[in-house]
Amino acid sequence: MQALIQWLSGPAVPNTFPYSPVLHEFHLSGKHFVDKSLLSLLDSARRTVAGQPPGSDDATSRELTDFLDVALDKWDGRYDYRSYLALRLLRLPCGAGEQTLGAQPADARRARDQLLVRLVADTLAFELAAAAHTTELLPQDRPGPEVVVKRCRLGIRAVTPALTRLGVADSIATGHPTVVAASLHTIADDLAGPGDPSLRLSMLPVHVTHDEYLFIRVLQGYECLFAGVADELRAAVTTLAGKTPSAAADRLGYASDLLRTAGPLFSLLATMRSESFRTFRQYTEGASAIQSRSYKMIESLCRAPQAERLDSVAYLSVPEVQAQVRGGQPTIDETYRSAVSDGRLTGAADILVQRQMAAFADALTQWRRTHLRVAVRMLGSRPGTGYTEGTPYLAAVSTLPVFTTVTTEKPGADQS
């Protein structure tokens, strides 16, 4: 607090902002319980930064503003899924004014792989530090040593495909999962470049329960994957509308792989104790992944949602996506159908695209089923934090067809 008062009484230069003491205060109680006087000072800091003329260090100033917006979401009455996960700080899709990772498609794929590896490596590093009693962060309900080993094993499995794509899978140590996890942390540190998003600023749990760290990082990891999948699907739509629609098969294949190989992330999350989850979720009301922009982009890029769903809480929770759908956002379903009816996609090329669409539909359906299973286990019959009745909503949406032109059951068969 003293450090913040001092900073405010000086020139308030963004790159000297006392992040560490502020984070420490938040971590002592959890964001939900932070002292109002600290929040008031942070609000003054935000006004001060907003009033400063644009300078040479705009990136630092933007990072500070984004951090303050995340720290003050409950104070402002704006707390939601995107602010809970600090998506803007991680440069993941979160609506207006967002900055994304990587300018070119290859850069974006690489940047997302790096971020995913860093997020998982960071959560395993936290598990190891807690087990070694070298951190006081989130001290409530620490897991036992067997769970820590299991988390290490599953976390490593979840990032192995990304490590392979990044060409660093061979650098990782072999042996006991905790040794491998420690080496993953070193590799992840090396992957981070000077302008990359700061992970430490993106961890503001609402409470002091140990497992909330894992929960936040797994959600952030999935957001990273969803953003990548949405990019691939957008490219598939453009390709299907162009001269060589068969090239969409590669983008669909990449998207399926991203979703499918991330399965161990759910297994990692499933190691969370449901009692721990229920403890911290008392303070996450209003933040639900029903507000995930990238997930709804994925769904609506595959095919246009029916009016009933578009008008429901599912899309009311993501107004920008709802507006894009209403504005006639092209879909894979529709561009595929046109490519076939125009005679641009025929024979073996058509079958190849159909197969990849069916594989993607399979991967997404599988994701939905796994999500439902984990949610039932953690939540039981309690309502969701996104104002649905909870798992009955998930059960209903898990059977929604991904495409209307191709189903998951009959890859290769023409059902249009």
Q: Applying CB under 6 A, which part among 63-71, 166-174, 389-397, 404-412 lies near ligand HEM?
A: 389-397
255 sits near ligand HEM (criterion: CB under 6 A): no
For the bound state, the minimum distance from the C-beta of residue 169 to ligand HEM, rounded and expressed in Å, comes to: 24
Applying CB under 6 A, the span of 88-96, 256-264, 288-296, 345-353 interacting with ligand HEM comes to 288-296
Of 26, 84, 277, 360, the one binding ligand HEM (CB under 6 A) is 277
| CB within 8 Å of 110: residues ≥ 6 apart | 102, 165, 166
Residue 250 CA to its chain's centroid (Å)? 23
Give the torsion sign (CA, 129, 134, 139, 145). positive
How far apart CA 157 and CA 142 sit, in angstroms, is 23
Binding mask 297-316 for ligand HEM (x = CB under 6 A): -----------------x--
Based on the shown chain and the rule CB under 6 A, indicate whether residue 322 belongs to the binding site for ligand HEM: no
Amino acid at 53: P
Binding to ligand HEM in span 354-373, by CB under 6 A: 371
Residue 77: how many other CB atoms lie within 10 Å: 8
Residue nearest to ligand HEM (CB): 384
Q: From 45-53, 245-253, 344-352, 386-394, give the range in contact with ligand HEM by CB under 6 A.
A: 386-394
Query: From residue 156 to residue 195, what is the string marking binding to ligand HEM with x (rule CB under 6 A)?
Result: ----------------------------------------
Size of the site for ligand HEM (CB under 6 A): 26
Nearer to ligand HEM, 61 or 391 (CB): 391
CA torsion through residues 63, 65, 71, 73, sign: negative
**336 within 8 A of 351, measured Cβ to Cβ:** no
Report which residue type is found at 328: G
Distance of closest approach, residue 354 Cβ to ligand HEM, in angstroms: 25
The one among 3, 137, 349, 375 contacting ligand HEM by CB under 6 A: 375
What is the spatial distance between Cα 38 and Cα 35, in angstroms, rounded to a whole number?
5
Least distance (Å) between residue 19 CB and ligand HEM = 27
Burial of 227 from C-beta contacts in 10 A (0-12 / 13-18 / 19+): buried
- DSSP assignment string, 115-161: HHHHHHHHHHHHHHHHHTT---SS-BTPPPHHHHHHHHHHHHHHHHH
Q: Is residue 390 involved in binding ligand HEM (CB under 6 A)?
A: yes
**Under 8 Å between Cβ of 147 and 276:** no
Q: In the set 68, 72, 162, 289, which binds ligand HEM (CB under 6 A)? A: 289
Site membership for ligand HEM, residue 222 (CB under 6 A): yes
Residue 81 φ then ψ, to 5°: -60, -45
Helix segments in 194-247, DSSP class H: 211-240
Q: Is residue 92 a contact point for ligand HEM (CB under 6 A)?
A: no
Q: Which residues of 112-150 are buried (b: 16+ CB within 10 A; e: fewer)?
A: bbbbbbbbbbbbbbbbbebbeeeeebbeebbbeeebbbb
Asked if 271 touches ligand HEM (CB under 6 A), the answer is: no
> Which range touches ligand HEM (CB under 6 A), out of 24-32, 103-111, 289-297, 344-352?
289-297
**Tokens standing for 293?**
């922009």
Nearer to ligand HEM, 19 or 387 (CB): 387
Using CB under 6 A as the binding rule, whether residue 394 contacts ligand HEM is answered as: yes
Binding site for ligand HEM (CB under 6 A): 218-219, 222, 269, 277, 288-290, 292, 295, 314, 371, 374-375, 378-379, 384-388, 390-391, 393-394, 397
